[in-house]
Amino acid sequence: MHPFIAPIIQTPAGERPLPIRFGLPGDAEALRSWRIGRTHTHPLAARDAVEYARLASKRWRYYARRDEVAKSLPELRQRAPKASQEEVGFLLVAGQDNTSAPQTLAMAWCRRTWCHHLVLDFLACHPVAFDARSGYGGVGSAMLFALGLITAELRIPLLWGEATAVSAGFYSKRVLGGQPVTDHFFIRDTHLANLQREGKRSAVHSRRS
């Protein structure tokens, strides 16, 4: 499965594109193997990331049994037109061809709802990707750019999700221009347009690479 977007992130080897694609059964299964190292500079966030990865894997399997999963952007576009009230879930996975890095650096589980909104149920970076000693940066933002591209492709007007005490600051700073975030966030209008613009820019890069 080819990536549909490849935003530039910071890696231990310098700036590199991060290929992001739709997840398949093997990717959902691999999420169950995420682990935390013996030490981590952000232990609470690392614990949450492992939990979210496992929950996303479980959610993917549930939706797959109901035949409510999209495994590519064209399939999502076909199954979730604006006029359709079918709920469709999908998994995004990000990784690099680097044997020293985890197979999956980040994941997101999302749903296109019956009213044509996009719900971000789980977004998590692998604990390695946000340990202060790892050399990685921008992985979470890259995943949001991918979601921005999807909302642009499907003309979805709203991206929303739940925030935790750990993640609220990320969404406030990276997406909402410093607006306070409590236990939920809504990305629309100008803020969504910004994500869409970054997503389209990264998509162009992925097609050229």
57 DSSP assignment? H
pLDDT average, residue stretch 14-29: 95
Residue 182 sits at φ, ψ, to 5 deg, of: -100, -115
Distance CA 49, CA 90 (A): 18
pLDDT above 50 for 206: no
Confidence of residue 15 (pLDDT cuts 50, 70, 90): very high
> CB-based contacts of 11: which residues, under 8 Å, 6+ apart?
96, 98, 101, 135, 136
pLDDT average, residue stretch 195-209: 73
**pTM for this one?**
0.92
Per-residue model confidence (pLDDT) at position 46? 92
pLDDT digits (tens, 9 = 90+) for 58-100: 999 999 999 999 999 999 999 998 888 999 999 999 987 654 5
pLDDT digits (tens, 9 = 90+) for 153-169: 999 999 999 999 889 99
Per-residue model confidence (pLDDT) at position 174? 87
pLDDT digits (tens, 9 = 90+) for 143-156: 999 999 999 999 99
Per-residue model confidence (pLDDT) at position 207? 45
Distance CA 11, CA 171 (A): 22
Per-residue model confidence (pLDDT) at position 38? 81
Can you say how many angstroms the Cα of residue 97 is from the centroid of all Cα atoms in its chain? 18
pLDDT above 50 for 110: yes
Per-residue model confidence (pLDDT) at position 57? 98
The CATH T-level fold of domain 8-208 is Aminopeptidase (3.40.630)
Per-residue model confidence (pLDDT) at position 103? 81
Averaged pLDDT score across all residues of the chain: 91
Per-residue model confidence (pLDDT) at position 97? 64
52 DSSP assignment? H
Can you say how many angstroms the Cα of residue 69 is from the centroid of all Cα atoms in its chain? 16
Tokens of 113: 């709802």
Identity of residue 172:
S
